[in-house]
Amino acid sequence: MSAATNGKLSPVSVAQVVIDDSFWSPRIETNRTQTIPHEYTQCKETGRIDAFDLTWKPGDEPVPHYFWDSDVAKWIEAASYSLAAHPDPDLDQLLDEVIEKIAGAQQPDGYLNVYFTVVEPEKRWKNLGMWHELYCAGHLMEAAVAHYEATGKRRLLDVMCRYADYIASVFGPNPGQRYGAPGHEEIELALVKLYRATGNERYLELSKFFIDQRGQKPSVFQRELEHLSEEDARINRHFFEKNGFDTSYCQDHLPVREQSDPVGHAVRAMYLYCGMADIAVETGDEELLRACRRLWDNVCSKKMYVTGGVGSSRHNEGFTDDYDLPNKDAYAETCAAIGLIFFAQRMLHVDADARYADIMERALYNGALSGISLDGKKFFYDNPLASNGDHHRQDWFGCACCPPNIARLIASLGSYIYSESDTDLYIHLYISGHADLSAGGTPVKISQQTDYPWDGEIEVEVAPSEPAEFGLNLRIPGWCRKAVLMVNGIEIDTAPILRSGYARIYRKWQPGDTVRLHLAMPVERVTTHPRVAENIGRVALSRGPIVFCLETADNPVPLDRVVLPRDAELTAVFDEKLLGGVVKIQGEGLLMDDADWDGQLYRFEPVKMRPYPLTAIPYYAWDHRTPGEMRVWIRSL
Amino acid sequence: MSAATNGKLSPVSVAQVVIDDSFWSPRIETNRTQTIPHEYTQCKETGRIDAFDLTWKPGDEPVPHYFWDSDVAKWIEAASYSLAAHPDPDLDQLLDEVIEKIAGAQQPDGYLNVYFTVVEPEKRWKNLGMWHELYCAGHLMEAAVAHYEATGKRRLLDVMCRYADYIASVFGPNPGQRYGAPGHEEIELALVKLYRATGNERYLELSKFFIDQRGQKPSVFQRELEHLSEEDARINRHFFEKNGFDTSYCQDHLPVREQSDPVGHAVRAMYLYCGMADIAVETGDEELLRACRRLWDNVCSKKMYVTGGVGSSRHNEGFTDDYDLPNKDAYAETCAAIGLIFFAQRMLHVDADARYADIMERALYNGALSGISLDGKKFFYDNPLASNGDHHRQDWFGCACCPPNIARLIASLGSYIYSESDTDLYIHLYISGHADLSAGGTPVKISQQTDYPWDGEIEVEVAPSEPAEFGLNLRIPGWCRKAVLMVNGIEIDTAPILRSGYARIYRKWQPGDTVRLHLAMPVERVTTHPRVAENIGRVALSRGPIVFCLETADNPVPLDRVVLPRDAELTAVFDEKLLGGVVKIQGEGLLMDDADWDGQLYRFEPVKMRPYPLTAIPYYAWDHRTPGEMRVWIRSL
């Protein structure tokens, strides 16, 4: 099946791409050798894996949670992508064992959920609004597709098709079927993946059904409450009943085609928008696409941190008012940044516009990557942009959505670098390695060599199996003010060939052709729209795709007293010994002195400043040394 | 009795002073004709006054509250000061009626508290830590002394002496007497007033006893809990048991002589420190005085708003960490600013140092005066230094401590202007009017003529009944960088005659001598110690004793986007039509523009600024127009 019938671009699978990159390869290896085993151990030790044995009895501790299945599913997905890129017989076998357990938990009718099989079987499908039944099903479907594509094994895919068939028999518009939509979106995008893997249109229809159930009046979540006991309805009420019956927490405030403003829980929102984009592409639904574009634009122009973090409020783990982007209290869940990457990739494939890739890259290198420690075994759930030293990565979480989410993102990184179309190839991300692509039917091997993100020099080797005409599109990042492009040593003016943020080189490519792209990568001072009150009078430092921050470890002074004059020179220095090897930014800042205050609290003289050499490190790498303050937004003069 | 045996200065009573001042006289008249009647009506309508009839029975609504007596007491005190300055037969009679009710509530043993007589009589003296029994007694004592001094009538004074005698029989160090201290301090300073009015040293001893009970190990409040039911102990636990048994909420963490750091509930702290200063002065207790000075210095150098507000946290209505002075969330209770004024006046009398008068003036014109509306009938409980438009003065409060507190302050303003010593007269505050004082036994009439606080020109006429040698001390305010002094038209260099912030003119004064003081009063930019994070990069505007603020009514733009360049000229303009006649400050500010952002959230170009003419008004006068934003601290470049 075509993966993007109506989109301009088609995705490239993990298996087509080899990453051999000084920045990413060690991370992917850490993911394979540390993160994925660590997360398996956590799932195992917390009972998540053995829960599929269905041996739980009342009184046993721990009690399986209704979202446990999804953690194991995301681990399977991560491990499968890893396997696709790197053979590992032990992991292969471990996956088979876990999948066998899951298969064994499937009920005769196809149903598959630990909690609602052993703990509260009488509550199956009773509270789609708050219990993550369909969400877990979705993650297991994604896992099944990933495992199938990585290994060719159909075991989990078949199990999940049976489960999907059963779900499709329960939910739908036909007589004897019931209404309903998942409170936590996920199954919508997963059903499209299942459809693409199997060609079974029933899954596409079911995904569309769930998407269209959202935002009806009365809300499916309100109708559902009628069956619930007072106790079971408690959480629903907590979220929904504050203002009348407001289900915006799970994007149920309006029919999806009428939505413009991202609201509610940010991860749910991102997963929904992914599903909407998928359905729009598969069905040619322009109205739905327009909604996706509006939602995208609103997220990126009013509700996104400079790190690509979204969902600023801890209260609803989600969106609040436009421009409400507090730094220290930022929620910016790792999963939400990952969800934004998923959404970005989908929109990129629809519109072939680099503005999506810009945000995809921003979230990847900053708000998502910060979610995992350099050693691959500690995780942020929330990713604030300022800290007083009391926020640290953890081994695991009771609600453990983020750790396997970042693991599956890193393991599948290969699929974000390139895209294909009938006539063109696209390079979105600059990461060393090579890929086996196809342009207009001709196999083309593309190789990249770069020290990105630390350096803006990229060499691309284009090797069609035989000379062939096609367009090669290289993204000129939004952060780049000056790009120099050379084909086989001859400079080409990018202006006339720029298409939606890509320099398109259309020619008859010969094996051995090389393209050199130089992206000027000076240190930049980022300012925020003045409606973001917290950032007024402050700048963030960025260089290339990387957002920087100050940490006490490098700047042992009160960070709110550090000031960066507008004309201060800033220098980027690669420090191989620092934080696994990073570019750090050094500059002549100022420090507000308190030496001459002598017991005064107020005075008429201005605060005195003294020179202070400041050092900024990449935001993703913060919280790896002695705990202290952290600030992305630096006072500016 | 001498009012200040060991202090350097003696206070001057309300009756000695006539205020005839363009700023204060209208306020005092509003206080007399609007505030005091309004507060009587509130006390009457809420049942506070008739509660003294003791007719309450179980089931009746409202149930008297255990702090109600204090509200009526402070009203009596305010009305009495008003009567001392302005004859008013109706008010005189109303006072007599209310006092008669109170007298009628006194129990045969002298006890006098509505709540613990009619609602829960079995709980008398059971929970001094949280129930305001001794606090109410203290306020009634202050009321009794004020009424006696204003009218010569002993009715309430005698009642309260009987009550004080009874309290002195219950509490004390002797066999058969019990331990204890009030959770909410007040009676300590009140007993000293009662002692000064009557000469009965028993009251002084009782005050000292209560002060010395504080901070013992085990805490008197911990010992008390043993008698309490779990339900009654609930509130105590809420405040005390969080960290072990921490009674710092009511300044019980250390014996008073060892205290240095102001902690806990700010009003309680201020009233305690007043009592400590009173006892120190009366008993010559230098150790206690040193504690008072340490506490004073810490409050003023680390924990005070620029308005003179203290107690930054809503959580404990009190003190937190040094330099923790949030603006929008400032608690800064009106009563606490008033308490700081009380404490300042006491320390001023001890040390004859203008630094106390500076703070007294700061709190008077800003953090206390903001507590009452221009029409005298609405009140702030908390006085934030920034608002988004949702904080407004109220008619009254369930816990109504602030309204009668500001009323008694304004009614007794005459007693804050001057002091006497054996050899000198002092002018602390510049307020037009005259006073009948005494210098070394010679009656001296002092008259002031000034447009202070709007103008720094002060004319003082000195009229001894016969030529007499004494020192006349005029305060050179801490905010003033240039003062010019003339005696009978001849300029005198202030530097050689400056004594602790006062220009001391010692000479043989003749009737008709005049002194002219010119205090330069430019608009000043105030900066804060850089440890106050919220005020970094911001200035407050002040002129003379007045602190200014921006309000939306004058500046209909987002106030966080207004920037004041350091070199912008600022002009003070008296506007007689604005807010009852105020000086406003006008200047060429800048406004951060958002017109050129065009859907961007982040960019590399700095925010553009456009000229914006800003207008600041006195802080005390904010919240009298269409609700909007308010900011004391203005962004500065």
Q: Does A596 touch chain B (CB under 8 A)?
A: no
Our CA-based measurement puts residue A608 at a distance from the nearest CA of chain B, in whole angstroms, of 10
Do B509 and B529 lie in one domain? The reply is: no
Do B627 and B609 lie in one domain? The reply is: yes
Q: What integer pLDDT is reported at residue B452 of this predicted model?
A: 97
Of A306, A525, A601, the CB nearest to B528: A601
| Residue A109: band (very low, low, confident or very high) from pLDDT cuts 50, 70, 90 | very high
Looking up tokens 């205050």 gives: A597
In a domain, A374, yes or no: no
Pick the residue from chain A with its C-alpha nearest to B533: A560
In a mutational test of the A interface, the residue from B358, B594, B602 whose CB has the highest number of chain A CBs within 10 Å is: B602
Q: What integer pLDDT is reported at residue A1 of this predicted model?
A: 32
Do A565 and A615 lie in one domain? The reply is: yes
Amino acid at B530: P
- CB-CB under 8 Å, A526 with B300: no
Our CA-based measurement puts residue B270 at a distance from the nearest CA of chain A, in whole angstroms, of 19
Query: Taking Cα atoms as reference points, which of B97, B122, B620 lies closest to residue B393?
Result: B620
Looking up tokens 């091997």 gives: A445
- CB-CB under 8 Å, A592 with B536: yes
Query: Taking Cα atoms as reference points, which of A191, A156, A381 lies closest to residue A276?
Result: A191
Pick the residue from chain A with its C-alpha nearest to B481: A604
For B369-426, the DSSP string reads GGGB-TTSS-B-SB--SEESS----BS--SS--HHHHHHHHHHTGGGGTEEE-SSEEE
Residues 6+ apart with CB under 8 A from B406: B35, B334, B338, B368, B369, B371, B372, B379
Q: Does B599 touch chain A (CB under 8 A)?
A: yes
Cα A545 from chain centre: 15
Residues 6+ apart with CB under 8 A from A441: none
> Which residues lie across from A469 on neighbouring strands?
A508
- CB-CB under 8 Å, B304 with A597: no
Pick the residue from chain B with its C-alpha nearest to A480: B604
Question: What tokens were used for B2?
Answer: 């001498």
Of A529, A607, A637, the CB nearest to B601: A529
Phi first, then psi, for residue A560 (nearest 5°) are -70, -10
Q: Does B609 touch chain A (CB under 8 A)?
A: no
- The CA distance from A438 to A10, in Å, is 11
Question: What tokens were used for A517?
Answer: 């792209």
- The CA distance from A272 to A182, in Å, is 10
- The CA distance from A612 to A597, in Å, is 19
Q: Which of residues 392-431 of B touch A (CB under 8 A)?
A: none
Do B79 and B143 lie in one domain? The reply is: yes
Of A529, A597, A599, the CB nearest to B597: A529
Do B145 and B171 lie in one domain? The reply is: yes
Pick the residue from chain B with its C-alpha nearest to A532: B601
Do A118 and A204 lie in one domain? The reply is: yes
In a domain, A403, yes or no: no
Of B304, B563, B637, the CB nearest to A601: B304
Do A201 and A246 lie in one domain? The reply is: no
- CB-CB under 8 Å, A297 with B536: no
CA of A425: how far to CAs of A8, A12, A358, A432, B5, in Å? 11, 10, 18, 16, 95
Contact indicator for A141, A192 with CB cutoff of 8 Å: no
| Mean pLDDT of the A570-582 span | 98
Residues of chain B neighbouring A533 (CB-CB closer than 8 A)? 558, 560
Interval A185-209: pLDDT, tens = 999 999 999 999 999 999 999 999 9
Residues of chain A neighbouring B527 (CB-CB closer than 8 A)? 602-607
Q: Does B238 touch chain A (CB under 8 A)?
A: no
In a domain, A400, yes or no: no
| Mean pLDDT of the A483-491 span | 98
In a domain, B259, yes or no: no
Cα A620 from chain centre: 14
Q: What integer pLDDT is reported at residue A242 of this predicted model?
A: 67
Question: What tokens were used for A317?
Answer: 């783990």
Looking up tokens 């989410």 gives: A405
Active site residue A317: yes
Residues 6+ apart with CB under 8 A from A205: A168, A172
For B329-383, the DSSP string reads T---BHHHHHHHHHHHHHHHHHH--HHHHHHHHHIIIIIIGGGB-TTSS-B-SB-
Q: Does A528 touch chain B (CB under 8 A)?
A: yes
Q: Show which of B195, B213, B231 is a domain's final residue.
A: B213
Q: What integer pLDDT is reported at residue A4 of this predicted model?
A: 41
- CB-CB under 8 Å, A524 with B602: no
Our CA-based measurement puts residue B582 at a distance from the nearest CA of chain A, in whole angstroms, of 22
| Residue A3: band (very low, low, confident or very high) from pLDDT cuts 50, 70, 90 | very low
| Mean pLDDT of the A299-312 span | 98
Q: What integer pLDDT is reported at residue B229 of this predicted model?
A: 83
Residues of chain A neighbouring B262 (CB-CB closer than 8 A)? none
Our CA-based measurement puts residue B369 at a distance from the nearest CA of chain A, in whole angstroms, of 20
**DSSP code at position B134:** H
Neighbours of B598 (CB within 10 A): 8
Which candidate in A149, A317, A361, A629 is catalytic?
A: A317
The CATH number that applies at residue B434 is 2.60.420
Residues of chain A neighbouring B558 (CB-CB closer than 8 A)? 530-531, 533
Q: What integer pLDDT is reported at residue A206 of this predicted model?
A: 98
Our CA-based measurement puts residue B186 at a distance from the nearest CA of chain A, in whole angstroms, of 28
Using DSSP's 3-state secondary structure scheme, residue B282 falls into helix
Do B513 and B570 lie in one domain? The reply is: no
Q: What integer pLDDT is reported at residue A243 of this predicted model?
A: 62
The CATH number that applies at residue A515 is 2.60.40
Cα A302 from chain centre: 18
Looking up tokens 């894996």 gives: A49
Query: Taking Cα atoms as reference points, which of B138, B141, B134 lies closest to residue B157?
Result: B141
Q: Show which of B519, B537, B565 is a domain's final residue.
A: B519
Our CA-based measurement puts residue A592 at a distance from the nearest CA of chain B, in whole angstroms, of 7
Pick the residue from chain B with its C-alpha nearest to A536: B561
Query: Taking Cα atoms as reference points, which of A472, A476, A487 lies closest to residue A440?
Result: A472
> Which residues lie across from A589 on neighbouring strands?
A612
Our CA-based measurement puts residue B310 at a distance from the nearest CA of chain A, in whole angstroms, of 13
Query: Taking Cα atoms as reference points, which of B318, B321, B354, B322 lies closest to residue B339?
Result: B318
- CB-CB under 8 Å, A603 with B530: no
Do A477 and A584 lie in one domain? The reply is: no
Contact indicator for A594, A557 with CB cutoff of 8 Å: no
Element (H, E) at B517: strand B513-519
Q: Does A593 touch chain B (CB under 8 A)?
A: yes
Query: Taking Cα atoms as reference points, which of A334, A333, A316, A324 lies closest to residue A248?
Result: A316
Q: Does A302 touch chain B (CB under 8 A)?
A: yes
Q: Does B608 touch chain A (CB under 8 A)?
A: no
Residues of chain A neighbouring B306 (CB-CB closer than 8 A)? 602
Q: What integer pLDDT is reported at residue B242 of this predicted model?
A: 67
**DSSP code at position A426:** E
- The CA distance from A173 to A205, in Å, is 10
Phi first, then psi, for residue B570 (nearest 5°) are -125, 135
Parts of chain B with a pLDDT under 50: 1-5
Pick the residue from chain B with its C-alpha nearest to A323: B601
Q: In chain A, how many domains are there?
A: 4
Q: Show which of B519, B538, B564 is a domain's final residue.
A: B519
In a mutational test of the B interface, the residue from A304, A481, A601, A633 whose CB has the highest number of chain B CBs within 10 Å is: A601
Across all residues in chain A, what is the average pLDDT? 95
In a domain, A265, yes or no: no
B194: alpha, beta or left, given left = phi > 0 and alpha = psi -120 to 50? alpha
Q: Does B62 touch chain A (CB under 8 A)?
A: no
Do A463 and A543 lie in one domain? The reply is: no
Q: Which of residues 562-591 of B touch A (CB under 8 A)?
A: 563, 566
| Residue A177: band (very low, low, confident or very high) from pLDDT cuts 50, 70, 90 | very high
Q: Does B527 touch chain A (CB under 8 A)?
A: yes
Do A534 and A506 lie in one domain? The reply is: no
In a domain, B294, yes or no: no
Using DSSP's 3-state secondary structure scheme, residue B55 falls into coil
Within a 13 Å sphere around the CA of A484, how many CA atoms are in the beta-carbon half?
A: 8
Residues of chain A neighbouring B602 (CB-CB closer than 8 A)? 306, 526-529, 540
pLDDT over 70 percentage in chain A? 99
Neighbours of B242 (CB within 10 A): 10
In a domain, B37, yes or no: yes
Q: Does A30 touch chain B (CB under 8 A)?
A: no
Our CA-based measurement puts residue B601 at a distance from the nearest CA of chain A, in whole angstroms, of 5
Q: Does B602 touch chain A (CB under 8 A)?
A: yes
Which range of residues forms the domain containing residue B432?
422-519
- The CA distance from A115 to A95, in Å, is 21
Interval A112-149: pLDDT, tens = 999 999 999 999 999 999 899 999 999 999 999 999 99
In a domain, A93, yes or no: yes
Do B515 and B577 lie in one domain? The reply is: no
pLDDT over 90 percentage in chain A? 94
A619-B529-A586 Cα angle (round to 5): 30
